[in-house]
Structure 1
Amino acid sequence: MNFSSFPSPSLPPPPPSSSLGLSQILGTAILTLAFVLGFPGNLFVVWTVLCRVAHRSVTCLLVLNLAAADALVLLSAPFFIRYIVGGRGWEFGPAFCKLVHYLCCVNMYASIFLIAGMSLDRFLAVSRPFLSQQLRTKRALLKILLVIWSLAFLFAIPMPFYRSIFPKEGLFYCIPFHSDPKHMVFQYLMETLFGFLIPFSVIIFCYSQVGSHLQGAKFNKRRRSGRLILLIMAAFAVFWMPYHIVNLIQVSGALAGEESLKNALLGAAKIGRPGVTAFAFFSSSINPILYVFAGSSHIRSAGLNFMAKMFEGSHSEGSGSSRVFRSIKMTRNESLVEKLPEIKMLQT
């Protein structure tokens, strides 16, 4: 079995010597910082929404699910850190090798689907207030969240099939394994299409429509909430785009006909994948920091409840849509009343 033909592991394996190389030091620093900042931060968001927010908007509940997904995936960071710096290879067995990478993949899909859900919610609230009100019920939202999580778990299924442990130099390593180049193309192309390109196309469409509808309108609270969602979206793009670029490079290498080009592309992907995968962990730790900046105006007055004040402010979006709904309905009723005499005259 030729291990040199395998793609590199998602995170760099520990070096054989006692000293750590630059990539190992960088990967360890990124994962440690992501865990230290992100895990308690996301737990604080979950606690705030569940225990401190009285009126939870659609955006607030989507943020709750996003924080829960991020906290879950950050629990894997200590195991990867041990893998990098321990010098003993993968010590946690083949089942956990598959499980931990599967959960990371679930997080990627769940995060982008939840962000797309936030964008669709804003699009409907602005351009389709009648439909928005129908979807803003607890029952409808629970169904939507069930669909989002089901799709995330479903799309992540290929990951454990292409991940296993293999022995090398007396140690075991948790690495990707594709018995056929077509399997590599399938996995990485699927991740990039359904975990990045298609959802981001939906997000861009929604925000282009929201921007055209709200141009010149004075909906300050709605715009503040919209800016927060845009920041979440931008952060996800910044931290996950390098990973998907490496995916496309590896797919291009697998499909390349010329041997020198194939080797160059696959080699570049092999070098880049450990760093971009570790970098993607920052996407799970950055959102609580964004919430702190977004809610900074409430910190002095509300203390630790500042985030609850910010999220309760987003509840006004739902009531704002309701007011739009009622306003349109009243306007139609008034116009109908005004036309009643004319209708009666026509009937006589």
Structure 2
Amino acid sequence: MSNDSCNLPLDTDTVGLTYIYGLIFSLGLPSNLLSLWGLYQLGRSGGGGCQLVYILNLLLSDLLQLLTLPLWILYLQGGHRWPYGQPACELVGYVFYVNVYASVMFLCLIALDRCLAIVYPLSSRGVRTVKVAAVSGVAVWTLTFLFCLWGLLPSVFDSERLLCLEQYPVSPRYAHFKIATVALGFLLPCAILGENLLRRKIVGILVIITINFIVVFGPYHLVGGYRFVYLLMTDEPCGLERSIFLVYRLCYGLTSLNTLLDPLFYIFLCPDARLELRRSLPCVGKGQSTRKQVTLTSTCHLFTEP
């Protein structure tokens, strides 16, 4: 069945996704850059520990994802026609997907680290080190890269209709990949976060991580899971594609909201990260120079040992 046969209303998501992507990009880019700078200064001063490594990787993945949004806005404004050629579509689409699921994995690592620090503060010291965090970060990027490489090859570009990262109806191979992303990129992290929250001592940042994860990634993966399982079971996929198109596309766009929420939740709530921003960027902390200096070895609840 060709892509033309579904006759989808491709223009119905243009306004909604343009506003979503535009808002996220305009607010997310400066907040992520400020956050990265504050954490960089904190790291130079010797604070942060292994959590610093995880959060730096998280913000890096957010930033790379943010940089793809202007191109998606132009794509939407052009009527779902990608004018930059197949290599650019594959690169941008690949960067987008890799960083979405890298963000998910780093959220899980942050949650696991906090769980170990609170429940097993002494016995976990051997694994809660900067070296282990760095190795874990390399492993996350490598596995995510290979996973997305398997799912997005041979191409995510439709040369006839100039669609980028869109298939209507989807191929069985791509449907299997997306079902795998629901299982590994949403259900498994939900199980990990849920298990952590069962501990009586686990509060604060883990609750924020869990709520952020479910609100941002939940609708897309639940709607997508239903879509791709149904498409594998039916011989007439276009009816579902037409009925679910707008809802699915808006849920897809909302996944980028994590790039805006991450720095707000994990950085701007951290007093020492804000202190480093004020120290390195006087315009940020104007009028607050008389505040009592906080020692760099005692960081916010996100970083400290219980």
- Shorter-chain TM band: 0.7 to 0.9
Secondary structure at the aligned position of 1:144 is classed as helix
| Corresponding residue number in structure 2 for 1:249 | 226
Paired residue for 2:29, among 16, 26, 39? 39
- The one-letter amino acid paired with 1:159 is L
| Corresponding residue number in structure 2 for 1:278 | 253
Pair 1:91–1:119, CA change in 2 (3 A): same
Q: Which has the larger radius of gyration?
A: 1
Higher helix share: 1
- The one-letter amino acid paired with 1:199 is P
Contact 2:98 2:145 in 1 (8 A): yes
Q: What are the Cα deviations for residues 246-302 of structure 1, in whole angstroms up to 9, with x where unaligned?
A: 21121232133475xx55433333332221121211111112233476348997998
- C-alpha distance in 2, partners of 1:296/1:208? 28
- C-alpha distance in 1, partners of 2:130/2:270? 26
Post-superposition offset of 1:85? 1.5
Instruction: Please list, as runs of the form range in 1=range in 2, the aligned pairs for 1:120-131 lying within 5 A after superposition.
Output: 120-131=112-123
| Corresponding residue number in structure 1 for 2:192 | 202
Paired residue for 1:58, among 50, 56, 59? 50
Q: Within the alignment, does 1:85 sit opposite 2:77 as a pair?
A: yes
- C-alpha distance in 1, partners of 2:277/2:76? 42
The range that moved more, 187-196 or 144-153, is 144-153
Post-superposition offset of 1:33? 0.3
| Corresponding residue number in structure 1 for 2:304 | 317
**Which runs of 5 or more structure 1 residues have no equivalent in the other structure?**
16-20, 215-222, 321-348
CA RMSD of aligned residues (A): 3.3
TM-score by length of 1: 0.72
| Corresponding residue number in structure 1 for 2:109 | 117
- C-alpha distance in 1, partners of 2:206/2:7? 35
Q: Within the alignment, does 1:95 sit opposite 2:87 as a pair?
A: yes
| Corresponding residue number in structure 2 for 1:163 | 156
Q: What are the Cα deviations for residues 20-43 of structure 1, in whole angstroms up to 9, with x where unaligned?
A: x5x311111100000011111111
Q: Within the alignment, does 1:231 sit opposite 2:231 as a pair?
A: no
Count of residue pairs brought into register by the alignment? 290
**Which runs of 5 or more structure 2 residues have no equivalent in the other structure?**
279-283
Q: What are the Cα deviations for residues 47-100 of structure 1, in whole angstroms up to 9, with x where unaligned?
A: 111124421132232111111110111000010111112458211111111111
Secondary structure at the aligned position of 1:135 is classed as coil
| Corresponding residue number in structure 1 for 2:281 | none
Secondary structure at the aligned position of 1:161 is classed as coil
Post-superposition offset of 1:156? 1.4
Contact 1:28 1:81 in 2 (8 A): yes
Contact 1:102 1:159 in 2 (8 A): yes
Contact 2:54 2:133 in 1 (8 A): no
- The one-letter amino acid paired with 1:24 is T
Instruction: Please list, as runs of the form range in 1=range in 2, the aligned pairs for 1:214-225 lying within 5 A after superposition.
Output: 214=201
- The one-letter amino acid paired with 2:180 is M
- C-alpha distance in 2, partners of 1:7/1:128? 56
- C-alpha distance in 1, partners of 2:117/2:191? 19
The range that moved more, 195-204 or 269-278, is 269-278
- C-alpha distance in 2, partners of 1:88/1:268? 18
| Corresponding residue number in structure 2 for 1:141 | 133
Pair 1:43–1:293, CA change in 2 (3 A): closer
- C-alpha distance in 2, partners of 1:7/1:43? 41
The range that moved more, 85-94 or 113-122, is 85-94
- The one-letter amino acid paired with 2:304 is E
- The one-letter amino acid paired with 1:269 is I
- The one-letter amino acid paired with 1:165 is D
Pair 1:6–1:92, CA change in 2 (3 A): farther
Secondary structure at the aligned position of 1:44 is classed as helix
Secondary structure at the aligned position of 2:48 is classed as coil
Fraction of identical pairs, as percent: 23
Contact 2:24 2:259 in 1 (8 A): yes
Contact 1:108 1:195 in 2 (8 A): no
- C-alpha distance in 1, partners of 2:108/2:276? 32
- C-alpha distance in 1, partners of 2:276/2:169? 59
Q: Within the alignment, does 1:190 sit opposite 2:173 as a pair?
A: no
- C-alpha distance in 1, partners of 2:7/2:207? 34
Q: Within the alignment, does 1:67 sit opposite 2:42 as a pair?
A: no
Contact 2:54 2:106 in 1 (8 A): yes
